[in-house]
Amino acid sequence: MDEHGGKTRTEIEAAVFRRLVEHLRTRSDVQNIDLMNLAGFCRNCLANWYQEAAAAGGETISKETAREIVYGMPYAEWQARNQTPAAPEQLAAFGKNRPEH
């Protein structure tokens, strides 16, 4: 599938990425640890993958910049506004099922 309705696969994938990021921004109530435990990835993973993809394309993007792209604000600001302490059961599930990516 190189073309679909005049859009290239890359354009479609980019639109899907933007929609996923926007969805995660609006669902700041969903904690990263819950995403990790349920789906095996979180916002930080997306930022890491963004940084890796940039590097593969010859671009240098800092970890902080990649996180700001995903979070829509500096990471420390997002943490202060939205992050809650992880419950013991969340930490236990994370330790048991921690992804290796």
pLDDT digit string (tens) for 45-95? 999 999 999 999 999 999 999 999 999 999 999 999 999 999 999 999 999
Q: Are 42 and 32 in contact (CB under 8 A)?
A: yes
Positive/negative CA dihedral, 71, 72, 76, 81? negative
Report strand pairing: 3-4 vs 7-8: antiparallel
Domain 3-97 bears CATH identifier 1.10.3340.10: yes
Q: What is the pLDDT of residues 24-42, one digit of tens each?
A: 999 999 999 999 999 999 9
Q: State the DSSP code for 45.
A: H
- Residue 7 confidence (pLDDT): 78
Residue 3 has pLDDT above 70, yes or no: no
Residue extents of the structural domains in the chain = 3-97
CA–CA gap between residue 22 and residue 24 (Å, rounded):
5
pLDDT band, very low/low/confident/very high, at 2 (cuts 50, 70, 90): low
Q: What is the pLDDT of residues 56-69, one digit of tens each?
A: 999 999 999 999 99
